[in-house]
Amino acid sequence: MSLLPETLSRIWRVSPPELRWLRPQDAASCARLHGASFLHGWQTGDFEHYAKDEAYCALGAFAGAKALVAACIARRSGDEAEILTIMVDPAWRGQNIAGRLLERALAELAAQGASQVFLEVERDNLAACALYRRLAFAEIGRRQAYYARADGTRAEAIVMRRDLAS
């Protein structure tokens, strides 16, 4: 039986969601969460791959020990890294869970040798833009008509970068 969001929120007051590496067995939960967060959801097999392949930094936030409430996937290549996705269950947004996850991912990437981290974000995604600016990402460019929207129009992407201390 799954715990209701209100019950999990009460648990959160006692102990915040725990951050840990994603495992292949978390992949189906990741795919569900991704589908609830983005127009084009990624598949369970994608998340199995991210959890297994050492090139990826795949972190999750778990409430009540088991329920996945947020995840962040990044990829490192040499001294550069990219945040591929970050998502928080809609019932858990606005509690700095993404902020904690992203800070942990940045620390892991720095420990693995990354000195710069890049990401793309839809210009109108105000919550994500606020999150990234708060964590010291700065705009370095724009990509026109980059994201497909549900209504058939396309949205501009902001490309951002953050330097990591060595």
Ligand X SMILES: CC(C)(COP(=O)(O)OP(=O)(O)OC[C@H]1O[C@@H](n2cnc3c(N)ncnc32)[C@H](O)[C@@H]1OP(=O)(O)O)[C@@H](O)C(=O)NCCC(=O)NCCS
Residues that bind ligand X (CB under 6 A): 37, 86-88, 93-99, 121, 125-128, 130-131, 134
Output 8 or 87, the one with its CB closest to ligand X: 87
Output 72 or 114, the one with its CB closest to ligand X: 72
Whether the Cβ atoms of residue 103 and residue 123 lie closer than 8 Å to each other: no
Nearest approach, Cβ of 74 to ligand X (angstroms)?
12
In angstroms, rounded to a whole number, what is the distance separating the alpha carbons of residues 86 and 102?
A: 8
Nearest approach, Cβ of 98 to ligand X (angstroms)?
3
Output 74 or 98, the one with its CB closest to ligand X: 98
Nearest approach, Cβ of 1 to ligand X (angstroms)?
25
In angstroms, rounded to a whole number, what is the distance separating the alpha carbons of residues 20 and 108?
A: 11
Quote the strand ranges of 28-165, DSSP E.
56-63, 67-77, 80-88, 116-122, 138-148, 154-163
In angstroms, rounded to a whole number, what is the distance separating the alpha carbons of residues 25 and 39?
A: 24
Output 22 or 131, the one with its CB closest to ligand X: 131
Whether the Cβ atoms of residue 86 and residue 94 lie closer than 8 Å to each other: no
Nearest approach, Cβ of 33 to ligand X (angstroms)?
8
